[in-house]
Structure 1
Amino acid sequence: MRHLVRSVPQTCPGPSSHLSPLSSAGRQNYDLLVIGGGSGGLACAKEAAQLGKKVAVVDYVEPSPRGTRWGLGGTCVNVGCIPKKLMHQAALLGGMVRDAPHYGWALQPVPHDWTTMAEAVQNHVKSLNWGHRVQLQDRKVTYFNIKASFVDAHMVCGVSKGGKETLLSAEHIVIATGGRPRYPTHIEGALEYGITSDDLFWLKESPGKTLVVGASYVALECAGFLTGLGLDTTVMIRSIPLRGFDQQMSSLVTEYMASQGTRFLRGCTPSRVQRLPDGQLQVTWEDPSSGKEDTGTFNTVLWAIGRIPETRSLNLEKAGVHTSPTSQKILVDAQETTSVPHIYAIGDVAEGRPELTPTAIMAGKLLAQRLCGQSSDVMDYENVPTTVFTPLEYGCVGLSEEEAVARHGEEHVEVYHAYYKPLEFTVAERDASQCYIKMVCLRKPPQLVLGLHFLGPNAGEVTQGFALGIKCGASYAQVMRTVGIHPTCAEEVAKLRISKRSGLDPTVTGC
């Protein structure tokens, strides 16, 4: 089959137009049209094409208020996981430089050069953009760099950067447009003078003294690596850090960050951002402890207060696709199907889905396999592991302690825990007081593991392995029969003998 591409001189047709693919006899169209070129959309498109479907992907990056834009690959590749992890690694290397003299390396403290790091990170991201283009071409997926909106339930209109309009129709449509950072537009100067994570990773010059507003994982990860790179960094938290995560672990994360030099303003809410004559930004906020206004000056204000779904410009009502009245995310069922049977939504844009790249990728692949008749499997969103890449990394899978107690009752939950010291911290005499592990289990034998929480080096690598066991229904008894690899941090999970209920000191001593 061939696809329909039609240039329109003025505006794309409305839903009643005679150009509708449903009313035009013999018109060819795509089997699958994916709106959104992020991780989930690309995975779905490539899988469907490999299984023999005629597939097109439309993707367009609306520049941030600051004017930042990027290439194919979505948030994760361009302004999320990839540049974040690389800058986190840059900060970790700074810590290793400081540790090196303890291990016999005669290194002197050296300043960090933001420009060199940024150029290397941005070049890597651009190589990934190109790689995605090549992969689509190899899989014979047609790519359109156009901003799409629905004309009706089977047709979309796309507008290019130059204003050219293109009509595309398909039997099935997948929406995978993700989300973008939220701006507090009610705060004076927020839009004019602040940036978000959409901009931070593409800065050519150092952001300097930075105020990070928010307590999400994005806020803490960014603040963590900024501090690690030697920048004066303050985090303003309105309520609690890492909402939705285990709150004991969240407290340990922020305590460690504070010990490494990140300042925290708790319970504060910004009310105004002004640019001073010298170019600095003066931020005014409400201080609940004094009941008065306070101010501070910064070079950069980074808003990290959550994300909003990219649904506003899609004209979903013309296709009959329903969204949540509160979140504006697209409502879907277990099959990722929207209110329209042949239109689907995956990833961050879908209501009730974790905002995580790997879940979007897997959901996209499974959806493509179902559409191609290759499988009936649906995405399982239970026991999805994740890691927050703060200076001391926090990996988790399964239920938090609070969730376990709420679901099963405190008397039916047993929590095993330990404070431990990584061997690599010993010679360098690093503070390890926040390195902590806890396993949340049912109390009744064989004590099914409900959740695992790990705070320490390489948390993602540790959590990934144990996630498989928990996904397979591992019990505490089975974990205790697992032989640890010595000397590692991960082996401490297999040595969790002390329960919170016992009241005994959980600090690991000896080798």
Structure 2
Amino acid sequence: MSYDFDLLVIGAGSGGVRCARIAASHGARVAIAESRHWGGTCVNLGCVPKKLMVQASEYGDMVDDSHGFGWTSTRGTHDWGKLMTAKDREITRLNGIYVSMLEKAGITLLTGHARFVDGHTVRIEPSPLAPDEAPRTITAERIVIATGSTPVKPDIPGAELAITSDEAFHLPQRPERVVIIGSGYIGLEFAGIFAGLGSKVDLVYRRDLPLRGFDEEMRSAMAEAIDARGITQHRHACSTAIAKEGADLVVTLDNGQHLHTDCVFMATGRRPKIDALGLENTAITTADNGRIKVDMNSETAQPGVYAIGDVTDRINLTPVAIAEGHNLADRLFGKGPARQWCYATTPKAVFFSPPLATVGLTEEEAARNGVVDIYFTRFTPMRHTLTGRTRKTVMKLVVDQKSQKVVGVHILGDDAPEMLQGVAIAVTAELTKVDFDRTIGIHPTSAEELVTMRTRTRETPKAEG
């Protein structure tokens, strides 16, 4: 049977674009369908605009810190509208780059919403990106679903009064008071953004510490950093209702508290964006959490249909989606071996101020495998020795005692993500503590602490069970 294309990618986010470009480089006839934004969530409503806003939120502190070094500048006021305009201009530029890259690769761009007719047939219908496009039906031998995810709100009274990260990037003005529900990546990052720009921030979450799933010791250090940022934490609390009272929004918590605010920001998770794809017309199955089930080769239960990125129940990070897309295209159309990587050593970063970066196992995870040696340090980085600021950098090495492999590295502090990227190579390469010890540091830097922690802080026994 002949098809219009060898490969159709649904979703022009980071993973989908990489998959399409690599497949085209191998000679495949490729089309890519996008219904909303070229570049997907990361470029338009995620990583890129968020990082720009994080950086904007840090300049005020930099001005204050400069006083300790002899500067006499004053902080002044922040122009939210100017930031939004500059951010939008950069996003528009990146949108154009994505379109240009795809066109130069010889890929057919389909603007519209894709919906499965069967396992090889998709109907492209009008969408916000192309409301006047006429519907069309196309066929492809192989199809990749890379439609990403979208924010979710809890089902509570007044939830419609709250915003999510999607709306936060387009607020007409900065709210003076913000209540953020949730303490994962998104909740913490926006808490830091708003606090840094001058808003009063209340952070509400259900557990005793933020960032569930991260190393416990680093979670505690992050909680201290949140306090130091001037953010009020409401632990062991859930929002039960939101109501409008005059000019205020009022958030009711299950502990009886009522928080008056100008803005309620829900950072309570994301779900795969697959509801309108017509999956019922295929054999594709989903897990209990709604994410598409795939095998180790990213193939769904429908032969010839694959899924990558946030629609699957793997690690939902942009670089992972890119790696999955690259690997899949190599396997389907390449002549050599496909690029491989390890999910277990995927580095992560939380762009708070200060940021947290981590790679490999937490102390708790490593202890399930055997006895663990912990190397831990907390110090004042040189940039703060003259500022009067008490901000500390925290570093932790998790070492398997038997093999002496460094199986986890965790850093909380200025430039932590930049430091960790190189260390991720070491952890992926399964280097040992001896390898770290025989590496010469660069002085004076914070990063040199990673190779100068000679004395073990403690031994953690193997966890029972």
Pairwise same-fold verdict (TM > 0.5): yes
The corresponding residue for 2:386 is 427
The corresponding residue for 2:321 is 360
Aligned length in residues: 454
Superposition deviation, residue 464 in structure 1: 0.3
Q: Structure 1, residues 375-402: CA drift from partner, whole Å, max 9, x if none? A: 3334431211111111111111000111
Coordinate RMSD, CA, aligned = 1.5
Distance 2:177 2:70 in 1: 33
Q: Structure 1, residues 155-193: CA drift from partner, whole Å, max 9, x if none? A: 111211337322121001001111101111x211112x1
Write the letter of the residue equivalent to 1:437. Answer: M
Match of 2:205 among 212, 237, 241: 237
1:209 and 2:177 aligned: yes
Q: Decide whether the 8 Å contact of 1:417 with 1:498 is kept in 2.
A: no
Q: Decide whether the 8 Å contact of 1:253 with 1:390 is kept in 2.
A: no
Mapping of residues 363-382 of structure 1, within 5 Å: 363-377=324-338, 378-382=340-344
Mapping of residues 99-498 of structure 1, within 5 Å: 99-161=65-127, 162=131, 164-184=134-154, 186-191=155-160, 193-239=161-207, 240-278=209-247, 280-287=248-255, 293-324=256-287, 326-351=288-313, 353-377=314-338, 378-406=340-368, 408-409=369-370, 412-433=371-392, 435-445=393-403, 447-498=404-455
If the length of structure 1 is used for normalisation, what is the TM-score?
0.86
Distance 1:379 1:335 in 2: 13
Ranges in structure 2 where 5+ consecutive residues have no aligned partner: 461-465
The corresponding residue for 1:509 is none
Q: Decide whether the 8 Å contact of 1:238 with 1:268 is kept in 2.
A: yes
- Aligned residue for 1:127, secondary structure, equals helix
Distance 1:56 1:248 in 2: 47
Write the letter of the residue equivalent to 1:421. Answer: T
- Aligned residue for 1:367, secondary structure, equals helix
The corresponding residue for 1:4 is none
Q: Decide whether the 8 Å contact of 1:60 with 1:146 is kept in 2.
A: yes
- Aligned residue for 2:257, secondary structure, equals strand
Distance 1:28 1:464 in 2: 42
The corresponding residue for 1:19 is none
- Aligned residue for 1:151, secondary structure, equals strand
Write the letter of the residue equivalent to 1:268. Answer: A
Q: Decide whether the 8 Å contact of 1:336 with 1:345 is kept in 2.
A: yes
Write the letter of the residue equivalent to 1:490. Answer: A
Q: Structure 1, residues 83-136: CA drift from partner, whole Å, max 9, x if none? A: 111111112211111111111111113121211111111111111111111111
Distance 1:101 1:45 in 2: 50
Segment of structure 1 superposing worse, 216-225 or 377-386:
377-386
- Aligned residue for 2:345, secondary structure, equals coil
Q: Decide whether the 8 Å contact of 1:413 with 1:440 is kept in 2.
A: yes
Q: Decide whether the 8 Å contact of 1:122 with 1:202 is kept in 2.
A: no
| Larger gyration radius, structure 1 or structure 2 | 1
Q: Structure 1, residues 255-295: CA drift from partner, whole Å, max 9, x if none? A: 112112011111111111112232x21111111xxxxx221
Q: Percent identity?
A: 38
Q: Decide whether the 8 Å contact of 2:26 with 2:334 is kept in 1.
A: no
Q: Decide whether the 8 Å contact of 1:176 with 1:347 is kept in 2.
A: yes
Superposition deviation, residue 197 in structure 1: 0.5
Distance 1:439 1:137 in 2: 45
Q: Decide whether the 8 Å contact of 2:39 with 2:95 is kept in 1.
A: yes
Superposition deviation, residue 420 in structure 1: 1.6
Distance 1:310 1:488 in 2: 43
User: In 2 relative to 1, CA 336–375 (structure 1 residues): closer, same or farther, beyond 3 Å?
Assistant: farther
- Aligned residue for 1:382, secondary structure, equals helix
Distance 2:153 2:126 in 1: 26
Q: Decide whether the 8 Å contact of 2:372 with 2:459 is kept in 1.
A: no
Superposition deviation, residue 367 in structure 1: 0.9
The corresponding residue for 2:33 is 58
Q: Decide whether the 8 Å contact of 2:118 with 2:281 is kept in 1.
A: yes
Write the letter of the residue equivalent to 1:171. Answer: E
1:75 and 2:75 aligned: no
Superposition deviation, residue 254 in structure 1: 2.0
Ranges in structure 1 where 5+ consecutive residues have no aligned partner: 1-21, 62-70, 288-292, 504-511
Mapping of residues 9-28 of structure 1, within 5 Å: 28=3
Distance 1:341 1:488 in 2: 52
Write the letter of the residue equivalent to 2:262. Answer: N
